[in-house]
Amino acid sequence: MNYHNITHDDMNNGDGLRVVLWLSGCLHHCKNCQNPQTWDPESGIPFDELAKQELFNELSKDYISGITFTGGDPLHKNNLKEVYSLISEIKEKFPTKTIWLYTGYTFNQCILEPGEVVHSHNGLKLERQYIVEMCDVLVDGEYIEEQRDITLKWRGSKNQRVINIPETLKQNKVVLYCD
């Protein structure tokens, strides 16, 4: 898994002050994407122990609300195994921190029609579904230039949704975090 940047004290990519991991790899190629340099999964630099330690150092600060995974697309097939492991470790070490994830896939593509299986870990299939189920908030859907709306909170186009994942799973219907 490669990444382009780790942003500290970010207020634009989720609720509160956050650390943001900008991952490489995206198959959506949205028209006028703000980060086309992240499309190539080989771009950026390899995510290593130093990068992980940087994230954990930021997450250990009590004023940091949580982490946001974006890119690129954190749910690109090249990222699934490491994103799953990283989120699992964050949930264990920082249980009070929220996890937000931006993806060009829709919630239905992640949950109702899980993505391809690319790895397994202790017999557990690591699909997009398992990653999404560990998140607090999912911002779903491709950016659509024709639906651009700069007044929307935490997203760029009207088709995208900011979904409260725990409530959605509990109620078995999409529950928005904000409208």
Kindly report, residue by residue over 72-110, the tens digit of the pLDDT. 999 998 999 999 999 999 999 999 999 999 999 999 888
What distance in Å separates the CA atoms of residue 110 and residue 78, rounded to the nearest whole number? Answer: 16
Give pTM, 2 decimals: 0.89
What distance in Å separates the CA atoms of residue 101 and residue 118, rounded to the nearest whole number? Answer: 19
Domains: count for the chain: 1
Could you tell me the residue range of the domain that residue 23 belongs to?
2-178
The residues, any chain, with a CB within 8 Å of residue 142's CB and separated by 6 or more, are 28, 30, 104, 159, 160
pLDDT in tens, 152-168: 999 999 999 999 999 99
What distance in Å separates the CA atoms of residue 131 and residue 133, rounded to the nearest whole number? Answer: 5
